[in-house]
Chains A and B, each alone.
Chain A
Amino acid sequence: MSYYLATQQNITQWIKGMASENPVFFPEKYGHSSYRFAPVGADSEIQFEQYKPTVLPPVKLLIPAREELLSFRKKADGTTTVESSLDTSFRILAGVRPCDLKGIFLVDLFLKEGVPDPYYLARRANTAIIGWGCTTPCDSQAFCAAVGSLGHTEGADVFITPLKDGDLLVEVLTERGKQLAAGADWKPYEDGAARKVGAVADLPEPFGRTFPVPVEDIFNQVSRRWDSPVWDKHVERCFSCGTCNLVCPTCYCFDVSDDINLDVESGTRTRTWDGCMLPHFAVVGGGHNFRPEPAARQRHRVKRKFEYLPEKFREGAVCVGCGRCGRQCTAHIDIYDIVSDLIGEGGR
């Protein structure tokens, strides 16, 4: 690992230089107050100010909304040829905040485990990540510190920490990071580690919303609640639209379907985003639904983030505290409020 000191201008030039050779995605403002990861062009503005998290987390660039798994062609003799569809193009995700880095780190683990998911892993292996530290909470919805994702850097090839004087501390973390950094106009910086500790110590306290108990205790509280009035309290307003699933950095469930082309001979098998909050998610052939009630679906979603997957993978909360689900929910249902209520109920 090596440290460098860079100015905003250095970083802007570096990112635009990389973007002239490979697709680089960086958060850009669109509409009135929203942000999205978009390809960097010669005229793009590199955002150094703190901003609200992008509507969709960057992990969705690794899990497209619609992804071809295979293509097929029926031949005249009745047989079918089948080809795999694998995206091995190279891309760089830059400006990835710690919450989103934790999200990608977790999805890496989930999709590597057991039978590995080749489509995701191929895309991930061909993706470089430039992480970007947060010095202030992005808005009043975030609770990244409370779930332990604020300081997350694992999974990044290069990690940039903004310093108080406006300069940036650059950490090169991997071999690929070293390749990306080749030719960058930065000053090697021996005191980098100490300076980073200093920058972290300067973060506001508390950083965003907090829970009254440490994250390990949240797991205990959540895992004890199967029957709880909390499951009905918030879901009363739920439209079962699945937006919370779609914007979540650790949701990756999918549906698989076939499409046939107009030649009626060839077509594709694709997977598309699906969500456990959608009413049909646990329906089986014949129509039985194992989670017909919105409350059962919400319980599944919350427990997946705070009980099931944390128990299985032991990497802390699977909710990264980005606040996206609460921010985007039409009915203002916020996983932070649900978990707070479960904790409060447990304390009684």
Chain B
Amino acid sequence: MTPVASQYDQLVRETFIPQIGKIVAMDDMTAKDRYLKVELEKPLGHRPGQFVMASIFGLGEAPISISNGPTGDNVLEMVIRKIGRLTQAIHELKVGDRLGIRGPYGSGFTMNDFYGKDVLFVAGGLGLVPLRSLITPVVAESGRFGKIRLISGCRNPSEELYRDQLKAWTEAGVSVTRLVDATENMPWEFGTGLVTEPIPKMELDAEKTIAALCGPPVMYKFVIKALSARNVKDDQIFVDLERRMKCGVGKCGHCQMNEIYCCQDGPVFRFSDLSGIPEALQ
């Protein structure tokens, strides 16, 4: 029997063989979070909210959020938290070192859902990293939106990410609320409290508002509750979920919740599409 090979070899190249990216800049944003700017061999061509599979050969691969807006060039920006063996090793890389990158994967955000609306971003901790891929194009075209607001919270002042970026967005006219759970005796000129707390008090046109949320699993339920109390409906809320994908192409099973594969159907979902999926948020 004649072996059949070539079409599958092509598929392997398209699906499982990463392209090689070169680190061109990096910055330690906090003691455990490092910003990386990577130059790729070919344009990433991503939408806001998508992710890549980043790898170091010999150590493995992990899903990582894309943090830059869709500019159409060869640049990929990420913020990687030191959390395991692979991310620890990524923290040890230097400018000029290389990373394997597959993707982009996932559905991402669609700009058309946001045009003409008051946009409310709610970011908890690392959630600001993927949300930045949407905030950036929204701010760049700010004339096409109503009010643009961001509530960004983290545990304490030393954990805040993208400080210069938050300042720049504020200067660009975004209403930015910077919060920490507690100052823990560190200098902090902004507010304290949870990201839910500003919601009941804010001036809000429920009909016109669209919200995009990203943060730790525990955050969603409470933010959604606060938004519902202000009559923002479930189909006006987008959530960007976290799962530990191993393949990125809907096969390995790790990101499955009910009939949905987070890597293919998400990780960005309209919240109304998640009713009946109790495992989505917790």
Contact = CB atoms under 8 A, between A and B. Distances in A.
Contact of B244 (A118, A260, A284): A284
Nearest to B59: A258
Interface in B34-80: 55, 57-62
Contacts of B5: 86, 88, 122
Contacts of B83: 285-286
A281 B244 CA distance: 9
A118 B6 CA distance: 10
Interface string A285-303: 1101011000010001001
B57 A118 contact: no
B3 A117 contact: no
Interface string A117-138: 1110110011010000000000
A260 B58 contact: yes
B98 interface: yes
A84 B258 contact: no
B222 interface: no
B136 interface: no
Interface stretch (B16-24, B190-198, B203-211, B232-240): B16-24
B17 A84 contact: yes
A237 interface: no
Q: Which 3 A-B pairs have the closest CB atoms?
A: A253-B253, A118-B11, A122-B8
Given A274-B254, A284-B243, A176 B57 contact: no
Interface stretch (A69-77, A139-147, A211-219, A334-342): A69-77
Interface residues of A, number: 63
Q: Which secondary structure dominates chain A's binding surface?
A: mixed
Contacts of B259: 307-309, 311-312
B20 A80 contact: yes
Interface in B1-35: 1, 3-5, 8-9, 11-13, 15-18, 20
B98 A282 contact: no
A150 interface: no
Nearest to B19: A82
Interface string B241-258: 011101101111110111
B155 interface: no
Given A90-B1, A284-B243, A311-B259, A256 B279 contact: no
Given A89-B3, A176-B1, 19 more contacts: A82-B17, A82-B100, A84-B9, A84-B12, A90-B1, A115-B15, A118-B9, A252-B253, A258-B57, A269-B55, A269-B57, A274-B252, A281-B254, A286-B83, A288-B242, A290-B243, A290-B257, A308-B256, A309-B259
Q: Which secondary structure dominates chain B's binding surface?
A: loop
Contacts of A2: none
A257 interface: yes
Interface of B: 1, 3-5, 8-9, 11-13, 15-18, 20, 55, 57-62, 81, 83-84, 87, 96-98, 100, 216-217, 242-244, 246-247, 249-254, 256-259, 264, 278-279, 282
A121 B6 CA distance: 12
Given A84-B16, A121-B8, A114 B246 contact: no
Given A116-B11, A258-B58, A303 B258 contact: yes
Contacts of A128: 1
Contacts of A282: 243-244, 254
Interface of A: 22, 69-70, 72, 74, 78-80, 82, 84, 86, 88-90, 110-111, 113-119, 121-122, 125-126, 128, 176, 179, 226, 252-260, 267, 269, 271, 274, 276, 281-286, 288, 290-291, 296, 300, 303-304, 307-309, 311-312
Contacts of A307: 259
Nearest to B259: A308
Contacts of B282: 290
Contacts of A286: 81, 83, 216
Given A70-B12, A276-B253, A256 B4 contact: no
B12 A119 contact: yes
Nearest to B12: A84
Contacts of A308: 256, 258-259
Contact of B242 (A114, A284, A291): A284
Contacts of B258: 303, 308
B254 A253 contact: yes
A288 B216 contact: yes
B252 A126 contact: no
A179 B84 CA distance: 52
A291 B278 CA distance: 11
A254 B250 CA distance: 11
B98 A79 contact: yes
Which among A110, A269, A281, A307 has the greatest number of chain B C-beta atoms within 10 A?
A: A269
A85 to B, nearest CB: 8
A296 B279 contact: yes
A115 B250 contact: yes
